């Protein structure tokens, strides 16, 4: 079974530039999550999709972050414009068990904003 795929693995940009991250979840997983993980901290949920609908985006900075999940499969997370404090690892995870099951994570996309 293929795991959660994310790209790019690393991205370096200057502040005020834009960046996009892509995630392909495990086939058949209805629930998809985007997390932000700052060095030394636990993951922070940015947005949760159930199929192609948003379940929770309460912690997504909507003035600069956006996310979509086309046709309930792949997802893209965009940051525009980026700030220095956006430097973090962006983790995508998927789950087949709704809200409370095991999450399967991708390797993450490490963003450095200069």
Alpha-carbon span 2 to 106, nearest angstrom? 11
Taking CB under 8 A as the rule, does residue 28 contact other proteins?
no
State the residue for tokens 């959660």.
4
Taking CB under 8 A as the rule, does residue 108 contact other proteins?
yes
Alpha-carbon span 76 to 21, nearest angstrom? 6
Alpha-carbon span 60 to 67, nearest angstrom? 9
Min dist. Cβ of residue 81 to other proteins (A): 27
Task: Calculate the dihedral angle through the C-alpha atoms of 44, 110, 82, 58, rounding to the nearest 10 degrees.
Answer: -20
Binds other proteins (CB under 8 A): choice among 23, 67, 79, 91: 91
Query: Closer to other proteins at the Cβ: 14 or 98?
Result: 98
Min dist. Cβ of residue 79 to other proteins (A): 19
Per-residue x/- track, 31-70, other proteins (CB under 8 A): ---------xxxxxx--x-------x--------------
Contact 81, 14 (CB under 8 A): no
Residues found near other proteins in the complex (CB under 8 A): 4, 40-45, 48, 56, 91, 93, 98-108, 110
């Amino acid at each position: 079974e293929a795991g959660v795929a994310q790209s790019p693995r690393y991205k370096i940009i200057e502040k005020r530039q834009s960046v996009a991250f892509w995630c392909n979840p495990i086939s058949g997983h209805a629930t998809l999550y985007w997390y932000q993980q700052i060095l030394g901290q636990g993951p922070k949920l940015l947005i949760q999709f159930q199929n192609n609908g948003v379940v929770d985006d309460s912690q997504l900075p909507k003035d600069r972050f956006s996310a979509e999940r086309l046709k309930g499969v792949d997802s893209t997370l965009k940051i525009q414009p980026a700030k220095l404090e956006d430097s973090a690892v962006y983790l995508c995870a998927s789950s087949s068990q709704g809200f409370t099951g095991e999450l399967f994570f991708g390797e993450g996309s490490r963003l450095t904003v200069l």
